[in-house]
Amino acid sequence: MNIHHLELFYYVARHRGISRAVRHMPYGIQQPAMSAQILRLEEDLGVKLFERQPFRLTEAGQELLAFIRPFFDNLDAVGVRLRSRLAPQLRIGASEVVLRDYLPVVTQRLRKLHPDLRLGLRSGFQPELEAWLAEREIDLAVVPLRSRPVAGVQALKLMQLPLVLLTPRRLKLATAEELWRSGPPRPALISLPATETLSILFQKGLKRRGVTWPVAIEASSMELITRYVANGDGVGVSVMVPHVVRHPRVKLLPLDGFAPVEVAALWTGEPSPLLQALLVEAQRYIRENWPDAALPDEVPGRGRKAASS
């Protein structure tokens, strides 16, 4: 028997159906692929393991599940025990600005509790970070929260940041609305990639106002947006992170009525004590430095549960 096929059957039996199993898998797999591999398992065994509609395990399926369940049920616990014998480790994914400017303060505080802490840091755009988390290549992702997390992913909302428009000071604008009050905006729009939450929220806000403003310059970071605006290459959309957006040649215009960006920590499964400690320190750091932006979610295991699907 193929061990991978047994794992797929375990999830199908546990979640009572192939479509539900696909949503709860700890890594990406499409429903047709899972169905095909389950059929191969049934062909290999020469028995039918479950009825599809309505879902019901056959006698053979019940016997197979009873045999494999103890192994798959205890995989995560065994992993935790084995990893606990080594120096504690956290693999964190976030944007470059988070890893460079904010995380070091949080991890320095955590090292006082765990002097042997080992860190793995990966920067990337939001889709990459979410994929790495799903593939268990990282333990924690810090990203703008676009919607409710997918099945199996836990979310702790950390802070809320308002959108701002960055304009060259020479444009002499008093409000952002002046750019589109008399028709389509003329300056080039500088923004993050279209898949980033910041860009999505901004374009949704424009659409509600009947404004079309395509991106002319796609930047890989908010720092680049500020730099290109300061150079006079256009108008940029960003979030209110003072040391990132402030520049002597750049003016900040509030985007009143536009939805803010909610930044959240994402992880899969139950958070380890080490991950819980990191989240607590992150919340403390945010409350100390951005009291108006902090969100009241509590770390799981220390109060109210974090949001999940």
Helix (H) or strand (E) holding 294: none
Provide the whole-model pTM: 0.65
pLDDT of residue 242: 85
Query: Tens digit of pLDDT for each residue in 182-211?
Result: 888 999 999 999 988 999 999 999 999 999
Averaged confidence pLDDT in the chain? 87
Average the pLDDT over each of 45-49, 104-108, 135-139, 285-289 and give the range with the smallest value. 135-139
User: Confidence class of residue 84 from pLDDT cuts 50, 70 and 90?
Assistant: low
Average the pLDDT over each of 24-38, 57-71, 222-236 and give the range with the smallest value. 24-38
116 or 190, greater pLDDT: 190
Mean pLDDT, to the nearest integer, of 211-215? 94
**Which parts of the chain fold into alpha helices (H)?**
3-15, 18-24, 31-45, 59-73, 75-84, 96-97, 103-113, 126-134, 197-208, 222-230, 242-245, 273-289
Mean pLDDT, to the nearest integer, of 93-103? 87
Give the span between the Cα atoms of 60 and 79, in whole angstroms: 30
Mean pLDDT, to the nearest integer, of 45-58? 91
Give the span between the Cα atoms of 116 and 121, in whole angstroms: 16
pLDDT of residue 147: 74
* Complete domains list, the chain, with CATH: 3-73 (1.10.10.10), 86-158+266-308 (3.40.190.10), 163-254 (3.40.190.10)
Q: Supply φ then ψ for residue 195, to 5 degrees.
A: -80, -10
User: Percent of the chain beyond pLDDT 70?
Assistant: 94
User: Confidence class of residue 308 from pLDDT cuts 50, 70 and 90?
Assistant: very low
Residue in this structure with the two tokens 């949704």, named with its chain if needed:
204
pLDDT of residue 203: 96
Show the tokens assigned to 152: 């199996």
User: Confidence class of residue 2 from pLDDT cuts 50, 70 and 90?
Assistant: confident
pLDDT of residue 307: 47
Query: Tens digit of pLDDT for each residue in 238-250?
Result: 999 888 889 999 9
136 or 186, greater pLDDT: 186
